[in-house]
Amino acid sequence: MTAIPRGAEERTAGDGAPHVRELDWLMLVVMALTCLGVVMAVSVRGPQIDAGPMMVMKTQGLKLLVGVVAFMMAALTPMRLIRRLAIPVFGLTVLFCLLPHVIGRSHGAARWIKIGSQQFQPVEPARFFLVLSVSWLLARAGTGLSNFRRGFLPAMGCAMALAIALATQPDNGNALLAVMLASCLALVAGVRILHFAPFAIAGLGLMVFVATQHDYVRRRIEDLFHTSSDSQVGLGLIAVGSGGAFGRGLGQGWMKMNYVPEAHNDFVFAIIAEEFGYLGSLFVLGSYSLFGYVCYRLVRQVKDPFLRYVVCGYALMILMQAAVNLLVVSGWAPAKGIDLPFVSTGGTSLVFCLAAVGLIGNAVRTDRTGSFATADEVVVT
């Protein structure tokens, strides 16, 4: 049994439910990043639309409201029900990833489902339920995690099913991210690293093949090593560098004025660096670092395997998404359309990231109350 770190003691609330201090810090970090996202949405999109900043505030506020509802639902739904529905709902979300071929197409790829004037990417709910499914399969394996058939195959089979569905869009970046997310969670759980070796070699060969078959992939890789000043990454780097130590000031950046593509979404960090400077960049990096550290402390405290994998999986999901976005903006990874969690204006990403935080809190509190594990639940060994 892992000892609870000093300072992580429980305080008992009036209703007898345990109070976990780390969750307070987690909420504080998420609130800070979400508020920054609203501020940057007004700063970037306010001057670009005819309706002005108030319309942007209403639009982003509505997305945030939906996200808060998703957070509350994830935080209050019994974990037993969530675990029971994880794999069936994940299967549905994989099918949803194929729907854009029929009812939506944009930017030369079938990645968005359009409903009226609104559209969303089904990869966000699919990645969300992938974490739940892999967590349940790893927990069910019990002491058989080192076994290929019971440990590696079920968990990675889910990830490969989603990756194949995403590759048909094509969305190779998110397909790779899904496989990496499931792989990291499996390795943390105890799946043998040797099981990954042949698949990693085959995956590397497949990536090289894809890069040679698609011109846009090849151009992005070439731009990574020879970044031009007029490319998306190059313009983002100009925005980051022009901010200096203290930035130009909120709303005073000019690279958002149709210079940096997707300045409100994929490249919002570049505008933060331009308007808030080096200090603003440190705030974003520090916030995600604190988020990771708090989640690490929570993972160490959770005793039930399924709940522990849920906390770890959603922490990895958010941090990996943030890492990919920041690496792209800073020129260390090929350009890929992945939102910065809690900060980008993408509504689907915001909703499911907030739902993930709600499930982290739900899992921790469920484990503390001891209401999840029961004597009749025996892990097959």
Task: Considering only residues 146 and 226, tell me which one the structure prediction assigns the higher pLDDT.
Answer: 146
pLDDT tens by residue, 137-182:
999 988 888 888 888 999 899 999 999 888 887 777 888 899 999 9
Position 381 pLDDT exceeds 50: no
Domain assignment present for residue 378? The answer is no
Cα-Cα end-to-end distance for the chain: 20
With cut-offs at 50, 70 and 90, classify the pLDDT of residue 17: low
Number of domains the chain contains = 1
Position 194 pLDDT exceeds 70: yes
- The number of helices, as runs of H, and strands, as runs of E, in the chain is 13, 4
Domain that holds residue 136: 18-369
Position 374 pLDDT exceeds 70: no
pLDDT tens by residue, 95-105:
888 877 666 55
Question: How far is Cα 2 from Cα 5, in angstroms, rounded to an integer?
Answer: 9
Domain assignment present for residue 4? The answer is no
Position 78 pLDDT exceeds 80: yes
Domain assignment present for residue 9? The answer is no
Q: What is the pLDDT of residue 338?
A: 85
Domain assignment present for residue 309? The answer is yes
Least confident of 7-21, 104-118, 341-355: 7-21
Domain assignment present for residue 321? The answer is yes
Which of 238, 217, 231 has the alpha carbon at shortest distance from 261? 231
Q: What is the pLDDT of residue 11?
A: 47
Position 69 pLDDT exceeds 50: yes
Domain assignment present for residue 193? The answer is yes
Supply 216's token pair. 């846009």
Supply 255's token pair. 């690279």
Count the Cβ atoms, other than its own, within 10 Å of residue 277: 19
Domain assignment present for residue 180? The answer is yes
Q: CB under 8 Å to 146, separation ≥6 — which residues?
A: 190, 191, 192
Q: What is the pLDDT of residue 88?
A: 93
